[in-house]
Amino acid sequence: MMIQPGSPEQWILASLTLGIIIFKVVLLIVLLAKFNTKRREQGIVALYFLKAVIILFLCLAISRSLALTFDFFLTYLDMDLYVVGYNIYFWKLAMVISNIGNLAVLYTLDTKVLGKKLKYIPEIIMAVGLVVILFFPVSEKPDFVLLSQILIVAMAVSAIIPLVFLYLGIKIPGLRKTAFLIFFGILIYIGAGLLVNGNTLDSIIKSSGVSIVVVYTLYLVIKLAGLSILAYGTTKFKLS
């Protein structure tokens, strides 16, 4: 669904997106402050995980800044404009930077929590996928569709992250509350992203008759809730 350049919807959506970028930066600062105050209190594993989540939030803030420009000032949510000029490079960089954060968390869980039981296989799959996304030539709309499918495969291994915390919550009573907080925070964040998926967004707007601003505002509220729960759970995570 495209928006008209210069329309109220463009500026409202861009402003809401800027708001979530600022919120991510605030959470990043909070996590950095927690790291500074707790580095002598927590076990080494907890500190490694906190570092990884700090990297994740930094990457999310940077990638959303790129997506802000791409969505509302270059393409206006019109897929036909994705492959025009240098537009696609904003999308590529946003996706790659965002998933570098996921990769940092995945690597930390594999090496520090699971004791390398995953043999670096998920990290390698994701890293290869991100390299392909960065350098895959895109000149037509079908190229972008194929690239999006590659991205889905690369991101699919990220499903391991919430599953690890679900496992920890079930197996370790002392970690149950914190692990489940992180697990549900991730699920809520992912659910918010699905809400503004292209096909889902069009279906919601057509079936309900609500404006894109209403749906996008709901998406941001859910996303902020997920990020807040994830950040809070991260500050409480303790595993030596």
Tens of pLDDT, residue by residue over 48-79, are 999 999 999 999 999 999 999 999 999 998 88
Is 199 exposed, middle or buried, given 0-12, 13-18 or 19+ CB atoms closer than 10 A? exposed
Q: What is the pLDDT of residue 14?
A: 96
Tens of pLDDT, residue by residue over 110-124, are 999 999 999 999 999
The C-alpha atoms of residue 7 and residue 28 are separated, in whole angstroms, by 32
pLDDT of 9 > 70? The answer is: yes
Q: pTM for this one?
A: 0.92
pLDDT of 30 > 80? The answer is: yes
Q: How confident is the model at residue 168 (pLDDT cuts 50, 70, 90)?
A: very high
**Residue 83, phi-psi category: left (phi > 0), alpha (psi -120 to 50), beta (remainder):** alpha
Question: Are residues 179 and 172 in contact, defined by beta-carbon separation less than 8 angstroms?
Answer: yes
